[in-house]
């Protein structure tokens, strides 16, 4: 799996999480792009399975990326619902890629989130 394939796979999953509604102010995010334009990222994304070194979890804890709605509520995008084989491929890619670059899982996920964001904002 290449980085481009990993980003494509993550993007496909994330697009499927929309539309999404803020539970506090009821703002509706129709698309991932709108969400990227309006919300502000909080901290680093985190893969709990990767942090625990579980590369083929049968019951994944998952990954999460947090962002703040303009109303101040923290919203989460997660890996919940992603098919296991897809998740395993991504975990395997992350394991090899962090080793190759000599960086942490969180650093890799932050890179991926930034690349994904640029790709989405550059799109139509």
Which residue do the tokens 């990227």 mark?
A: 36
Beta carbons of 113 and 63 less than 8 angstroms apart: no
Nearest distance, CB of residue 1 and Zn ion, angstroms:
35
Residue partners of 2: CB distance under 8 A and separation at least 6: none
Residue span binding Zn ion (CB under 5 A) among the ranges 13-21, 27-35, 87-95, 113-121: 27-35
Where are any strands of DSSP class E within 30-106? 40-47, 63-68, 74-78
Nearest distance, CB of residue 13 and Zn ion, angstroms:
23
69 binds Zn ion (CB under 5 A): yes
96 binds Zn ion (CB under 5 A): no
Closest to 44 (Cα-Cα) out of 88, 103, 122: 103
Nearest distance, CB of residue 63 and Zn ion, angstroms:
22
Residue span binding Zn ion (CB under 5 A) among the ranges 14-22, 47-55, 78-86, 116-124: 14-22
73 binds Zn ion (CB under 5 A): yes
The residues in 102-121 that bind Zn ion, with binding defined as CB under 5 A, are: none
Q: How far, in Å, are 24, 29, 58, 100, 120 from residue 110 at the CA level?
A: 27, 22, 25, 16, 15
Among 52, 71, 84, 96, binds Zn ion (CB under 5 A): 71
Site residues for Zn ion per CB under 5 A:
22, 24-25, 27, 69, 71, 73
């Amino acid at each position: 799996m290449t980085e481009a394939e990993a980003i494509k796979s993550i993007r496909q999953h994330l697009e499927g999480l929309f539309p999404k509604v803020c539970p506090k102010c009821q703002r509706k995010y129709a698309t991932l792009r709108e969400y990227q334009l309006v919300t502000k990222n909080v901290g680093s994304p985190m893969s709990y399975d990767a942090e625990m070194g579980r590369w083929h979890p049968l019951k994944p804890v998952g990954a999460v990326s947090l962002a703040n709605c303009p109303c101040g509520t923290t919203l989460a995008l997660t890996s919940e619902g992603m098919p296991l084989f897809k998740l395993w491929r991504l975990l395997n890619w992350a394991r090899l890629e962090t080793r190759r670059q000599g960086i942490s899982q969180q650093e890799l996920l932050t890179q991926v989130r930034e690349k994904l964001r640029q790709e989405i904002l550059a799109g139509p």
